[in-house]
Structure 1
Amino acid sequence: MFEYVTKVQEQIQRIATSQKPQLEEAARWMARALVEDRIIHTFGTGHSHMIGLELFTRAGGLAPVNAVLDDLVLSTSGARRGAEVERISGLADVLWDKYDIRSGDLMLVISNSGRNAMPLEMALRARKEGLQVIAITSLEQSKQYPSRHPSGRKLYEVADLVIDNCVPSGDGLMHVDGNLTGPASSMSGILIVNTIATEAMKLAAAQGVKLPIYHSQNIDGYSNEELYRKYESRIKHL
């Protein structure tokens, strides 16, 4: 067995066991968003944006998902630039105004360290605007280092619900030649959001909701056009 595979299996079990109540609560919140025809917004900077992107226009995934996909949160304009930008206070409000985010929607904010300004301020703005906020973060790392925000607060301190991704400080599961490696936050985060989404689907279906799920466009006989038309006015990047 490969060491990384073994470590990831252990990581998955750690999350499933230790975060069970939080995952169940998050699924209930997401199910409520489906029942009430709300939008599920996802936000993350750097590699964390991939976790939100996993839910967006995904074959087998939910249609009412709006991922914040702006140059400010991506690395396409430069990895070092992105690392600096996520520390700048005030930019979350700039991004907010570019999207149709409404009171009663649900917001997922993903930040492994939870210490930078942009994710923190996105969570604060969302709560101010009447959204419930779920944070996915590494509590071990977040509690180990100081905030980079003027308030001194971190993401886990401002969210309504916190899911610990159980990732060790430094985001690695292995050591090779004295170096920490075997990244864990992306895999852990994707596991978490898909667990929440699938459990939410089951809860919403039990309440009689017709589930807005995308089908693979590479399988004949299915079309997602009805869902695209339904949500294109509310989701920026459709």
Structure 2
Amino acid sequence: MTLSIGAESSAAELLRRLSEVASSSSAQVAAAASLFADCVRADGVIQAFGTGHSQGTALEVAGRAGGLIPTNRIALSDLVQFGGEDPSVLADPMLERRGDVAGRLYELAAPRPRDLFVIASSSGVNSAVVEMAHVVTSNGHKLIAITSVEHSTSVPARHESGKRLADFADVTLDNGAPFGDTLLALPDGTSAGAVSSLSAALLVQMVVAETVRLLLDSGTIPPVYVSNNVPGGLERNLALEAHYAGRIRRTAS
């Protein structure tokens, strides 16, 4: 079916796909939440990594109001901010396709053995994210992948192993995005209207909510953020963050 182009058709199709993702992902969300809860109870940190627009998914995991406090975002910019690289390295549009950066980013994050990793990539094939998946699983960490199964399996693997992100994952959350991550066909054969950012955020928030339920059921007080923009919120958050000092980073970007 060819969709008409415009706000209403975009909203309708997005809502349909989000509903589909929510209803088809219950088992995977439960499995991911179990890993989240185990990590929190073991005093671990949930390490989130994504490049390109998947940085937004990492931000859904790490450091937002309503989310879990023991979370850390790993970003390509860490190479400069924490690793001493020249800022010009970030001007390379192909940086996310360089597998050699993953080991350095892992080293800069300095994760502990019980830390859990969440890696987001809708395509699931760029070398930086696939190599990061290889690095973290080789070091014994559990891994949750957030990816488009349809897109990832429709394109050649770029990593030297011939593997994709999902091939390394203990749990794969399928964001339901179509090949190319767009919905609305244009007359020239291209298409517009992205999906993956919204569906990935939905999956993250489902996992967080289920994690909170599991923690409460086991008698653990969920360490969650309140908004810094409510009275006392910042002070409360800083006090809880102190337990993870040196293990979680909260940067402006």
TM-score strictly above 0.5: yes
What are the ranges of 5 or more consecutive residues in structure 2 without an aligned counterpart? 1-6, 81-86
2:83 counterpart residue number: none
Match of 1:229 among 231, 235, 242: 242
Q: CA deviation at 1:236?
A: 3.1
Change (3 A) 1:177 1:80: farther
2:163 counterpart residue number: 153
Q: CA deviation at 1:190?
A: 0.7
Q: CA deviation at 1:219?
A: 1.1
Q: CA deviation at 1:231?
A: 1.6
CA distance in 2 between partners of 1:73 and 1:186 (Å): 24
CA distance in 1 between partners of 2:201 and 2:132 (Å): 20
TM-score, normalised via structure 1 length: 0.92
1:71 counterpart residue number: 77
CA distance in 2 between partners of 1:221 and 1:117 (Å): 43
Instruction: Give the residue type in structure 1 aligned to 2:21.
Output: I
Match of 1:26 among 32, 40, 49: 32
CA distance in 2 between partners of 1:100 and 1:204 (Å): 26
Q: CA deviation at 1:175?
A: 2.1
CA distance in 1 between partners of 2:78 and 2:155 (Å): 24
On the 8 A contact 1:99/1:236 being kept in 2, the answer is: no
Is 1:116 aligned to residue 126 of structure 2?
Answer: yes
Match of 1:202 among 209, 213, 219: 213
CA distance in 2 between partners of 1:42 and 1:183 (Å): 22
Instruction: Give the residue type in structure 1 aligned to 2:13.
Output: K
CA distance in 2 between partners of 1:127 and 1:95 (Å): 14
Instruction: Give the residue type in structure 2 aligned to 1:147.
Output: A
Change (3 A) 1:86 1:221: closer
Instruction: Give the residue type in structure 1 aligned to 2:133.
Output: A
1:138 counterpart residue number: 148
1:49 counterpart residue number: 55
CA distance in 2 between partners of 1:37 and 1:206 (Å): 17
Q: CA deviation at 1:100?
A: 2.1
Spell out, residue by residue over 1:95-118, the C-alpha distance to the aligned partner (whole angstroms, 9 max, x if none): 111112121211001111111111
Is 1:213 aligned to residue 224 of structure 2?
Answer: yes
User: Which structure 2 residues correspond to residues 76-87 of structure 1 after superposition, within 5 A?
Assistant: 81-82=92-93, 84-87=94-97
CA distance in 2 between partners of 1:114 and 1:13 (Å): 22
Instruction: Give the residue type in structure 1 aligned to 2:65.
Output: A
On the 8 A contact 2:51/2:75 being kept in 1, the answer is: no
Spell out, residue by residue over 1:181-235, the C-alpha distance to the aligned partner (whole angstroms, 9 max, x if none): 1101111111111110111011111111111111111111433121121122211
Q: CA deviation at 1:6?
A: 0.7
The alignment-based identity, stated in percent, is 33
The residue matched to 1:37 in structure 2 has which SS? Answer: coil
TM-score, normalised via structure 2 length: 0.87
Instruction: Give the residue type in structure 1 aligned to 2:216.
Output: A
On the 8 A contact 2:126/2:158 being kept in 1, the answer is: yes
On the 8 A contact 2:119/2:146 being kept in 1, the answer is: yes
Q: CA deviation at 1:154?
A: 0.9
Q: Which runs of 4+ in 1 moved over 6 A?
A: 76-80
CA distance in 1 between partners of 2:126 and 2:184 (Å): 25
CA distance in 1 between partners of 2:196 and 2:149 (Å): 12
Q: CA deviation at 1:72?
A: 6.7
On the 8 A contact 2:64/2:225 being kept in 1, the answer is: yes
The residue matched to 2:194 in structure 1 has which SS? Answer: coil
1:182 counterpart residue number: 193
The residue matched to 1:182 in structure 2 has which SS? Answer: strand
Q: CA deviation at 1:161?
A: 1.4
On the 8 A contact 1:100/1:236 being kept in 2, the answer is: no
Q: Which moved more, 1:225-234 or 1:110-119?
A: 225-234
